[in-house]
Structure 1
Amino acid sequence: MIGLWHAIVETPSMKMKLQFKVSKKAVYTLDMATEPLAIPIQIDTLLVEDNRLTARAKAFWMPGEEIEVRLAFQEEAFEGEIYIPAIGKLPLQGARGRGPHLSEALIEEIIPYRKESVRERSDEEIDSEVESLLGRMTLEQKIGQMFQVLASNFSFGNEVATDPPEKLIAEGRAGSVLGAFDVSRVFQLQKIAVEQSPHGIPLLFNADIIHGSQTVFPVPLAWSCSWDMEAIKEACAIAAKEASASGTVYNHGPMIDIGRDPRWGRVVEGAGEDPYLGALIAKAQVEGFQGESLFHKETIVACLKHFIGYGASEGGRDYNTVDMSEATLRNVFLPPFQAGLEAGAASVMNAFNIYQGVPVAASEELLKRLLREELGFEGVLISDYGAVDEIVEHGFAEDVREAAKMAVGATMDIEMATRSYEHLAELVREGSVAEETIDGAARRILRLKYKLGLMDDPFRYVRPEKEQEYHFHEDHLRASRELARKSIVLLKNDGALPLAKDGGKIALVGPFADSKDLLGPWQFSRYGHETVSLYEGLAASGIEEERLLFAQGSGINDSLEGGIEEALRIGEQADVIVLALGESSDMSGEAASRLSIHLPEAQQRLAEAIAALGKPTVLVLTNGRPLVLDWYAANVNAIVVTWFLGSQAGLAIADVLTGAYNPSGKLTMSFPAHQGQVPVYYNHFLTGRPLTEANKNLKYISKYLDGPNDPLYPFGYGLSYSRFEYSELKLDRSAIEGDEKLIAAVTVTNRGDAAGEETVQLYIQDLHGSIVRPVKELKGFRKLWLEPGESGNAVFEIGEADLAFWSPGKGYAAEPGRFSLYIGSSSRDVQAAEFVWTAGKS
């Protein structure tokens, strides 16, 4: 029964493919996947007797209910039954392998709907067509384009009382659809729109493609640690290629919020704490998703979210209050959005939070004046899920009618999920909302549909034949593995890594030792059961089965009966122990904030027992946020942060552990030394009583009584199997004026035995200004590949633009004065020099 199996079943409402992967190490394991909807299924209990298997799994959509599976296997086939809550008991007959794609039947059906020789229209042609169409539309029909409806009863938030999507679409009361992950469902709903709705206007199909479609890449916080813009861009391009084949044309991503508080679950979706690096990554993601043209069938709309300040939620609690100065808003949180807009992002999504006491969804100051008028954004502005209705919940609007007026007044084009905009027609007729405001929103939506080619070819993204070609393609898997390797960060290594190649037993211990929960949140892959686990990755690396011992040891949050005892038994037999601990995917992401950012107690007890053996121990961490690792830093020999690495996670981790790949990742969020430091980030201000080495024993300074100010592992930190030495920091001059450039260079030498890549980082501090400036700000980086004994120069050019910032009195400008320049391997480990900049003569 070992291997991959499939069965096709008919339910009262749909055709479904079930896939089962049966494996065996010390014990049998079962992984399940569903198609067309990728429903996460966590197996709770598994019993195997001869060729029979019985399993129970949680039904996350119905708390307290269980899925039950009973299978009996022969050599090439199986039969049995599955019980699914709300559906009932279904008989199963299946065979080995992945089985056919459910969309195969659609390949022939779609042929009559294909259109040839559809060309990309010019902006002038699009504008003309849109104005003509607007002239034929009623007020209600224009407003209909401003609604986004759910494709099914599945909800991404609170349930919404509304008509079925089929009815809304046929009546012209929807312009876009969220969550139609099945290409057949896209085809079905698009046919209704084109054949039944007024004017036959096609729908936009939206989805959250955050870090991959069917091939899953590392979560964004992970891939940011690669500091590799081209690899990130490629990951987004592959995601767009796979998603667009299934009909998705509009992405609810990238998320480009700056994150400084690791308690906030959504730090996993962003690029960390730095606005400079965040801006570069925002640009790379937009370019990856949108490609050279939105008209190309293998690109999708990039939607920058969440505008703006969401990452500053108080207490790290999702959806919570935000309160910050305009200087912080503009200097920290705005740069990634500016970069994304300059890269051509076609859409923006509002943030859930308030700013200056006003919910962003209702803020004319932020959405109309800052985003549209100052930054020049002319694309589609979409609400986050239910954000228009939530203007009432915030206490800013009396009812949803008033909320609709506020949101549309702030130039919100699309209301996601809820139906507050149904009041707009009445508001227009009574004169409370100008019809020109409705026209502006409808115009932007229709213009986007023309740019995507949908108005001329509504079914151009319904490509079931391309699904089969692109999804989980070998080339895509290779790209995922490569980016995963680059995303891994080595935090500690006293010589335990890389693992010895020539013998010795390895004990693989922990809840992530053989887990496939390595994809992270915000993914909807139908291939989750084929994720490569750490055990499978190490086995595939050539480590013989007799060398590779295994014990789960504990659950993620709960202890296992006899688990620690079994882990100690195999640990005693091993020469080195790989301790695979971490967070489950549902502990990160939206609505997954944590009071404690320590590893759960059950895993801590397991770690303490293993460490007591005194064997060389390597911590391999699966996580979606920085965690407090002070105990591990003191008690294990090596720490490897792997985040959630995606479909090829186990192979990528094995590459690093065995030395087949020399780790090069650098942290993009600081890891605190203690939870009480949070939020902790490198680009902070000094305060009037800063802590220094000279005054650290004094009382009346900005410090803690019971611990350090600094994080355990700072921004930019990451080790290698190479040992890089920095020397000879040189500036070509000590002062520059106006638009002159200063050249800074440092020599880096590889003093280790392995060839490797180092990311050399440049930071600048403005020593005094019209407003207080951070102690350091990242302004550039260079990657150097060095052989053992080889030296290389990292050269940086610094000019006026690198010194500019926003202040209330001067806007965006550089200010004359003295600056410190730092170059090094992290924000902490740097060499310093000073220079002066003066404004040029006017």
Structure 2
Amino acid sequence: MQFIIDKKEAIALSVILEPFPFPVEIHTVTVEGNLLQSRGMSPFVLGESFEFDLTFEEQEFQGRIKLPHQEAFFVKGTKGAGPSLEDLLISTLSPYRKNDVRQRDDQEIRQAVEALLNKMSITDKIGQMSQCMSTNLSLGSDIESETPEKLITEGRVGSILSAVNSNRVFELQKIAVEQSPHGIPLLFNFDVIHGFQTVFPVPLAWSCSWDIAAIKEANAIAAKEASATGINYNHGPMVDITRDPRWGRVVEGAGEDPYLGSLIAKAQVEGFQGDSLFNPETIIACLKHFVAYGAAEAGRDYNTVDISEGTLRNVYLPPFQAGIEAGAGSVMNSFNTYQGVPVAGNRYILNELLRKELCFDGILISDYGSIDEIVAHGNAKDSKEAAKKALDATMDIEMVTRSYDHLHELIERGLVTVEQLNEAVRRILTFKYKIGIMDDPFRYVRPEKEKEYHFHPKHLEASRTLAQKSIVLLKNKGVLPLADKEQRLAVIGPFGDSKDMLGPWQWSRYSKETVTLREGLEENGFSKTHLLVEAGCKVEEALDGGIERAVAAAEQADIVILALGESSEMSGEAASRMDITLPKVQQELAEAIVRVGKPTVLVLTNGRPLVLDWFEHHVDAIVETWFLGSQAGHAIANVLFGHYNPSGKLTMSFPVHIGQVPVYYNHFKTGRPVTESNKGEKFFSRYIDGSNDPLYPFGYGLSYTTFEISDIRLSQTQMTDSEAMVASVTVTNTGTVPGEETVQMYIQDLYGSVVRPVKELKGYEKVKLAAGEAKEICFSITVADLVYWNPDLKYGAEPGDFKVYIGSSSRDVKEASFELLQPTQSKTDKVAK
């Protein structure tokens, strides 16, 4: 019957929205007329209304649902009574379980792949090279005309994007195995960026921990949780170097430095893929976005990129090289052009550089719609020509769009060859054998492990630990840590009691259990009677009387915490900002609170460096917390109370003013550099209305203790290409509490055949010291630390004078000099370390 009720009624339902690309579980719905309001986990704002028509059987229902700003799609489910959906799936899976599958060796895989290739038609091969959504809903474009079920049955798709429900994965895999022409199992892809159900800090945040082991663990946990749902192929990590905070996707990367970015890229690949991709608790890592996507002009997403070959190789390429050397199974192209050619069809970038020079033999997948976008760029007249360009550039899989449907005609016309298809499908099938799905198609569908792994207490503990390490103390005039829990504390701002602490690129079903700042303070022992919480305003909108109530709370308090920042939607893809100050309404709130005159701590929740110059001059402490994930409130409270001494160091510079952007530490000196002696003069490379320097530089971060770093001691002042020189310092904790310092080593090539940066990070060590304790830190310097892409179009080091800098940030350093005596050139033309 038609499900339309005129009076308001609450109905308990166990619901799967199928097919739909997000983890939507609506546990209870309220119905009035034909409007539905969710009261459970949904990617939409709670309370949003959906139009729908449902038909009910005794225990099941189905129909169509219309979401805000989207097309209608199919929905089905069961009433709340009866066995759980997980139990039903476990029972259904039982006949498909295989326990005796062994791992094939490389020779066996090659033989099996060739045998299967010989049986496949051209249509079958094109199918393996095509990916579709788990629903016919195509975000950002029109609804696909053909359902995934139809495409799978006809063998016209080889991988599925965003099936994040184990029941949906089973359903589609079953069709592929039982109904497609050769029964080839599907790959199931998803963007697992900073956790799956347990959400970790966003990548920009965790990069500020400088803790490689903890980052690797976070990605291993994410793989463990995601693989239990059926995901076996990740669209991550993003390893783009990012220098412009206007770009929304800086939140997904490791910041502005290629050395640290390379270490983190390696750790993420190793975390996702583990020791063997045959392990069903690992997933294929995909390095994105190859290459230079982070150099988008003006920080505007999808914009033009125009950089030199030297900048490409010395800045943007190293993290990809590190990830490939770590064994990454996949690479995704960037949306931008390089030298005027869209990367999706750029044969030089994808074939000559990626395949041949970097020796990448894994799966190359297009980013969402980027093959079609070759036409929009103006590099192809239609999708047929775009498909040829992409295949000629060795693109293996087309994500979502259907340009590769033209490949059959292109082969018939002799414009591309069957062997080109074979090369692509060979790589795809090889990985399907490597991960074991060719012999055990349902090995990743493990609903019993979902129950065990998702939001596991040990995973939450790991998230909280990494979150604490990711927090950066930017300023402290003695107000932190909070010492007296009997003080009255006013927590003011839109993030004082907000669940929006996870950041973009997360789809956790447990987002409602995110620990807020208020909850963290209360659970750390701050009594509710001493805690005054007022939002003051929304993130970008005023609240009627909000500022007045916030001022009243501040007047009653001993200390004020200003909990300000950006919403998750203000960072991530398609979230570029021209103005990277806090929203105007939050600035107005802050000014009103500061006028009260109480000690004030700014606690930031955000996904990019912000302009904080006003706050630097008007508040007593600034704590950069980023988006910290599921345990955000606990991590922040632990730092505020001093249970954890902050140790985070910035991986992107914070500008004084938006006009400085992009501002980064490893810039060139120019022919008219500003120095202490000339900084007041006009005809030098400077602004006439402000400093060149950032407010907070790369590597910067304070502690509740203080550290002193000695002058540098060199084992020698001259070295050859076969020698290692040691640079050492003594680090002393000169404060009264234990703490951790990140000692950083930078090198500068003073002159060369091309201009070199003023500093480049080449090593660091995190050291924990008790109050008064000292420790010697030693760095080994070899010729590999001096290599760069030179005018001879090779990687090499040149003889001459160098400086080594060691300190607590890129700005606060000691220096020493040495000389490289003999000309040298790296033995292989690979990316410099």
Residue pair 1:211, 1:239 contacting (<8 A) in 2 also:
yes
1:412 and 1:87, CA in 2 relative to 1: closer, same or farther beyond 3 A? Answer: closer
CA distance in 2, matches of 1:631, 1:58: 40
What's the CA shift for 1:105?
1.3
Corresponding residue for 1:201? 184
Q: Which of 138, 148, 160 pairs up with 1:165?
A: 148
Residue pair 1:157, 1:385 contacting (<8 A) in 2 also:
no
**Structure 1 consecutive aligned stretches of length 4 or more whose deviation exceeds 2 Å:** 5-21, 30-34, 39-43, 56-59, 82-95, 99-104, 153-162, 839-842
**Equivalent position amino acid for 2:13 in 1:** I
Residue pair 1:764, 1:778 contacting (<8 A) in 2 also:
yes
Residue pair 2:798, 2:824 contacting (<8 A) in 1 also:
no
Corresponding residue for 1:546? 529
SS in 1 for 2:736: coil
Q: Which of 324, 342, 345 pairs up with 1:341?
A: 324
Residue pair 1:672, 1:680 contacting (<8 A) in 2 also:
yes
Residue pair 1:149, 1:177 contacting (<8 A) in 2 also:
yes
Corresponding residue for 2:43? 40
1:839 and 1:66, CA in 2 relative to 1: closer, same or farther beyond 3 A? Answer: farther
CA distance in 2, matches of 1:533, 1:58: 26
**Residue 688 (structure 1) aligned with residue 666 (structure 2):** no
1:786 and 1:614, CA in 2 relative to 1: closer, same or farther beyond 3 A? Answer: same
Corresponding residue for 1:395? 378
Q: Deviations over 1:679-727 (max 9, x none)?
A: 0000000111111111111111110111110100000000000111111
CA distance in 2, matches of 1:715, 1:231: 21
Residue pair 2:714, 2:726 contacting (<8 A) in 1 also:
yes
**Residue 265 (structure 1) aligned with residue 248 (structure 2):** yes
CA distance in 2, matches of 1:662, 1:735: 40
Unaligned runs of 5+ in 1: 22-29, 44-55, 60-64, 68-81
What's the CA shift for 1:807?
1.4
Corresponding residue for 1:303? 286
1:100 and 1:210, CA in 2 relative to 1: closer, same or farther beyond 3 A? Answer: farther
Residue pair 2:18, 2:75 contacting (<8 A) in 1 also:
no
What's the CA shift for 1:751?
1.1
1:758 and 1:16, CA in 2 relative to 1: closer, same or farther beyond 3 A? Answer: closer
**Residue 562 (structure 1) aligned with residue 545 (structure 2):** yes
SS in 2 for 1:221: helix
CA distance in 2, matches of 1:514, 1:136: 60
CA distance in 2, matches of 1:120, 1:454: 11
Corresponding residue for 2:487? 504
Q: Deviations over 1:134-160 (max 9, x none)?
A: 001111111110000000144343335
SS in 1 for 2:649: coil
Corresponding residue for 1:219? 202
Corresponding residue for 1:652? 635
Corresponding residue for 2:48? 57
What's the CA shift for 1:57?
3.2
Corresponding residue for 1:52? none
Q: Which of 453, 457, 482 pairs up with 1:474?
A: 457
- C-alpha RMSD over aligned residues: 2.3
What's the CA shift for 1:6?
11
Q: Which of 410, 431, 440 pairs up with 2:393?
A: 410
CA distance in 2, matches of 1:123, 1:704: 60
Corresponding residue for 1:24? none
**Equivalent position amino acid for 2:138 in 1:** S
Residues 630-709 of structure 1 aligned to structure 2 (within 5 Å) = 630-709=613-692
SS in 2 for 1:209: coil
Residue pair 2:495, 2:565 contacting (<8 A) in 1 also:
yes
Residue pair 1:33, 1:40 contacting (<8 A) in 2 also:
no
Residues 211-290 of structure 1 aligned to structure 2 (within 5 Å) = 211-290=194-273
Residues 127-142 of structure 1 aligned to structure 2 (within 5 Å) = 127-142=110-125
Corresponding residue for 1:79? none
1:819 and 1:20, CA in 2 relative to 1: closer, same or farther beyond 3 A? Answer: farther
SS in 2 for 1:633: helix
Corresponding residue for 2:158? 175
Residues 306-455 of structure 1 aligned to structure 2 (within 5 Å) = 306-455=289-438
SS in 1 for 2:433: helix
CA distance in 2, matches of 1:468, 1:337: 35
Q: What is the TM-score with the length of structure 1 in the denominator?
A: 0.91
What's the CA shift for 1:212?
0.4
CA distance in 1, matches of 2:775, 2:216: 27
CA distance in 2, matches of 1:376, 1:153: 36
Residue pair 1:275, 1:332 contacting (<8 A) in 2 also:
yes
CA distance in 1, matches of 2:83, 2:582: 41
What's the CA shift for 1:407?
0.2
SS in 2 for 1:539: helix
Q: Which of 441, 446, 456 pairs up with 1:463?
A: 446
Q: Deviations over 1:773-807 (max 9, x none)?
A: 00000000011100011111111000100110111
Corresponding residue for 2:602? 619
**Equivalent position amino acid for 1:138 in 2:** S
**Residue 18 (structure 1) aligned with residue 9 (structure 2):** no
**Equivalent position amino acid for 1:682 in 2:** Y
**Equivalent position amino acid for 1:440 in 2:** E
Q: Deviations over 1:261-297 (max 9, x none)?
A: 0000000000000000000000000000000000001
CA distance in 1, matches of 2:317, 2:75: 52
CA distance in 1, matches of 2:78, 2:90: 26
Corresponding residue for 1:148? 131
1:659 and 1:19, CA in 2 relative to 1: closer, same or farther beyond 3 A? Answer: farther
CA distance in 1, matches of 2:754, 2:399: 39
Corresponding residue for 1:8? 13
SS in 1 for 2:712: strand
CA distance in 2, matches of 1:461, 1:91: 23
1:101 and 1:829, CA in 2 relative to 1: closer, same or farther beyond 3 A? Answer: farther
CA distance in 2, matches of 1:554, 1:297: 46
1:654 and 1:19, CA in 2 relative to 1: closer, same or farther beyond 3 A? Answer: farther
**Equivalent position amino acid for 2:245 in 1:** P
1:574 and 1:742, CA in 2 relative to 1: closer, same or farther beyond 3 A? Answer: same
1:630 and 1:31, CA in 2 relative to 1: closer, same or farther beyond 3 A? Answer: farther
Residue pair 1:519, 1:645 contacting (<8 A) in 2 also:
yes
CA distance in 2, matches of 1:233, 1:796: 23
1:677 and 1:12, CA in 2 relative to 1: closer, same or farther beyond 3 A? Answer: closer
What's the CA shift for 1:771?
0.8
CA distance in 2, matches of 1:570, 1:643: 25
SS in 2 for 1:503: coil
Corresponding residue for 1:759? 742
SS in 2 for 1:200: coil
Corresponding residue for 1:78? none
**Equivalent position amino acid for 2:174 in 1:** K
SS in 2 for 1:282: helix
Corresponding residue for 2:590? 607
Residues 806-817 of structure 1 aligned to structure 2 (within 5 Å) = 806-817=789-800
1:90 and 1:356, CA in 2 relative to 1: closer, same or farther beyond 3 A? Answer: closer
CA distance in 2, matches of 1:722, 1:6: 56
1:389 and 1:531, CA in 2 relative to 1: closer, same or farther beyond 3 A? Answer: same
What's the CA shift for 1:840?
6.9
Q: Deviations over 1:499-529 (max 9, x none)?
A: 1234211000000000000000001100000
1:504 and 1:841, CA in 2 relative to 1: closer, same or farther beyond 3 A? Answer: closer
Corresponding residue for 2:555? 572
CA distance in 1, matches of 2:76, 2:446: 30
1:31 and 1:784, CA in 2 relative to 1: closer, same or farther beyond 3 A? Answer: farther
**Equivalent position amino acid for 1:778 in 2:** L
Residue pair 1:9, 1:16 contacting (<8 A) in 2 also:
no
CA distance in 2, matches of 1:543, 1:609: 25
**Equivalent position amino acid for 2:790 in 1:** S
Q: Which of 165, 174, 184 pairs up with 1:191?
A: 174
SS in 2 for 1:198: coil
Residue pair 1:41, 1:58 contacting (<8 A) in 2 also:
no
